[in-house]
Chain A
Amino acid sequence: MNIWKSVMKFIYHFASPKHFYRISGKMIPWLGWLAAILLVVGSIDGLFFAPVDYQQGDSYRIIFIHVPAAWMSMFIYMVMATAGAIGLIWKIKLADVIASSSAPIGAAFTFLALVTGAIWGKPMWGAWWVWDARLTSELILLFLYLGYMALESAIEDPRAATRACAILAIVGVINIPIIHYSVEWWNTLHQGATVTKFDKPSIHISMLIPLLLMAIGFKLYYASVVLVRARNKVLYNEQNNRWVKEIVQANA
């Protein structure tokens, strides 16, 4: 019980706007630069050092953008829904801020996954787009993100907006397993899982390494960007508090 108490104490302490602002400010440069390094190294490895694919030739190199972007589109949605639920239940304002800061980043990754998929699909499948279960459910994910952002700006009362958005995010979680298992549940033109299956990955190690480098790079990128966005919101929301005044005036 003591451990639980101290964990909760730590969470509330970290989640207080002032401490969040201070600690996240220290974390962002590390996360950001590490993300940049991984993305550069991963891209160069994927573009120039990974071997060509036995079937798809060089076109498969789109995988190093497409797959991490698609993973992030789902991961960020889960973060958004979880943070929304925490905000709804425990009234931790920082959770609401994280949720709403995540939405545009998640939407951007969903958009990237869809567009790079289309660019890849044209030469390989022979079509930019097909209405199969995987592509359709990913498109619904984009609508969920856009709906979340529209709802947030449509409701004037911030508390009501936060509640409505959290509920939308939680309800939309149902789409995440649908996206993941769509390639198993239905006949899709889209391939089945290469890496995220119980079997060992069906991808050669020389191609798996840049893929994982990019995947970690995308995660760190999200972490740094979401913190920058959350800090902006915290600063704005807490503008009438003394600590914000001190920070702003110190930076003038």
Chain B
Amino acid sequence: MNPKRKNRLILVLLILTGTGLAVALGTMALKENIQYYLSPMEVKAGKAPPNHSFRLAGLVGVGSVKREKDGLTTHFDITDNVETITVTYTGILPDLFREGQGIVATGKLTDGTHFRAEEVLAKHDETYMPPPVQDALDKAEASKAQDKASGAMTQ
């Protein structure tokens, strides 16, 4: 084959592979997002795949975080303000991990209410503010802020 044509063929194949890969990854992402994001309520309703890894999303229960002496293992609750699942995780938590924060944990159920996480990711909302302003706002409308935090997780 003449080298120019060969080059062209290789490039076209590269484009096709790239596009195919992108579409495959896109479909994968959609599937994962539609199927594997479960709330504690859905888990309690038995929607979690047995012996299968899935993603559990919710807020870290206030006052529920307990760290073991090894400094790496953490126990905490994930809640959607209706149901609660207890999570155990060994590893470094993201800096945004804190009580009341929206998180997504990947792992398996060990029994009906206990979840063993392999990965914990923190989600933040779209609000950016300096700390003093935020404090003032929090005090002014504490209840409204809470609604917003839980709203951010469900959207």
Binding site for B on A (CB under 8 A): 51-57, 59-60, 63, 123-127, 130-133, 135-137, 139-140, 143, 146-147, 150-151, 153-156, 184, 186-189, 191-194, 202-204, 206-207
Contact check, B11 vs A150: say whether CB atoms are below 8 A apart.
yes
Tell whether A125 pairs with B131 under 8 Å between CB atoms, given A59-B95, A147-B19, A186-B33.
Answer: no
Q: Nearest chain B CB to A204's CB is how many angstroms away?
A: 5
Contact check, A193 vs B128: say whether CB atoms are below 8 A apart.
no
Question: B87 at interface (Cβ–Cβ under 8 A)?
Answer: no
Known: A125-B122, A202-B128, A203-B128. 7 other contacts (CB 8 A): A131-B28, A143-B18, A147-B18, A151-B15, A184-B155, A189-B121, A192-B126
Q: Which residue of A lies closest to B97 (CB)?
A: A126
* CA gap between A154 and B131 in the complex, in Å: 53
Contact check, B29 vs A131: say whether CB atoms are below 8 A apart.
yes
Binding site for A on B (CB under 8 A): 4, 7-8, 11-12, 14-15, 18-19, 21-23, 25-26, 28-30, 32-34, 37, 57, 92-97, 104, 119-131, 133-135, 152, 155
* CA gap between A137 and B7 in the complex, in Å: 29
Q: Nearest chain B CB to A60's CB is how many angstroms away?
A: 6
Given the complex, which residues of A lie within 8 Å of B4, measured CB to CB? 156
Contact check, B133 vs A204: say whether CB atoms are below 8 A apart.
yes
Task: Select which of A123, A131, A153, A154 is within 8 A of B95 by beta carbon.
Answer: A123
Tell whether A203 pairs with B96 under 8 Å between CB atoms, given A150-B14, A191-B124.
Answer: no
Contact check, A56 vs B22: say whether CB atoms are below 8 A apart.
no
Q: Which residue of A lies closest to B31 (CB)?
A: A131
Contact check, A136 vs B95: say whether CB atoms are below 8 A apart.
no
Contact check, B57 vs A187: say whether CB atoms are below 8 A apart.
yes
Can you sample 12 A-B contacts with CB below 8 Å? Answer: A53-B128, A124-B94, A126-B95, A130-B121, A132-B33, A136-B26, A147-B15, A154-B15, A156-B4, A156-B8, A184-B155, A204-B133
Given the complex, which residues of B lie within 8 Å of A189, measured CB to CB? 104, 121, 123
Given the complex, which residues of A lie within 8 Å of B127, measured CB to CB? 55, 194, 202-203
Contact check, B15 vs A203: say whether CB atoms are below 8 A apart.
no
Q: Which residue of A lies closest to B32 (CB)?
A: A131
Task: Select which of A133, A155, A191 is within 8 A of B123 by beta carbon.
Answer: A191
Contact check, A51 vs B15: say whether CB atoms are below 8 A apart.
no
Tell whether A150 pairs with B126 under 8 Å between CB atoms, given A51-B131, A124-B94, A124-B96.
Answer: no
Q: Nearest chain A CB to B100's CB is how many angstroms away?
A: 11
Q: Nearest chain A CB to B103's CB is how many angstroms away?
A: 9
